[in-house]
Amino acid sequence: MRHSYFRALENLTHSTKLPLPEVIDQLAFNSDGLMPVITQDAETLEVLMLAWMNKESLQKTLDKGRMIYWSRSRQEFWEKGATSGHIQELVNMSFDCDGDAILCKVIQTGAACHTGRKDCFYLKVKPDNKIEISGNPA
C-alpha cells in the first residue's frame, strides 16, 4: 500500500536521501494515472497554476528541466511554452507527505496563464463576496 510507504518516511531525519525511482514508483496517481501539480514561482513563491502530470510527464519534466504536463482535454503531453514561448524552467520538485500531490518551483518566462495573465488565479474573492479580476489578458 503506497500510503504506508509515505507513512514510513515520516520519522526519517533531515537530509535522509532516498532513491528517486523508488519514491516515484510509490506515488499515488489517481485512477486516470494523474496527479495534481501546483506550480509556484521560485523567486516570489506566488502560486502560478495547477495542472496535471502522469508518471511519464513527470519523468520528461525531470529529464528536460522544463515543465511538461498532461493535458486532460487534449489527452497529450503539454510542454509549457512550446508554442507561446512562456516556458517554465524547473528549479525543484517536491512531493507531499501522502505522495498524492506535486509542488514544482519554476522560473517563469512570460505569463503562466493561457489568458496572458501572470497566473491562473486571477479571480479574487473579496470581503464583500464579489469577485475581482486581477491582471489583464494578453
Q: Map residue 60 onto helix, strand or coil.
A: helix
Q: Note whether 112 and 119 are within 8 A (CB).
A: yes
Q: Is 96 annotated as a binding residue?
A: yes
Number of domains within the chain? 1
> Does residue 68 fall inside a structural domain?
yes
- DSSP label of 1: -
Q: Is 113 annotated as a binding residue?
A: yes
> Does residue 137 fall inside a structural domain?
no
> Does residue 57 fall inside a structural domain?
yes
> Does residue 63 fall inside a structural domain?
yes
pTM, rounded to two decimals:
0.92
Q: Is 63 annotated as a binding residue?
A: no
Amino acid 117 reads R
The predicted-structure confidence for 84-135, as pLDDT tens digits, reads as follows 999 999 999 999 999 999 999 999 999 999 999 999 999 999 999 999 999 8
- Domain extent for 104: 2-110
Q: Is 32 annotated as a binding residue?
A: no
- Mark 30-56 as b/e (b = at least 16 C-beta within 10 Å): eeeebbebbbbbbeeeeebbebbbbee
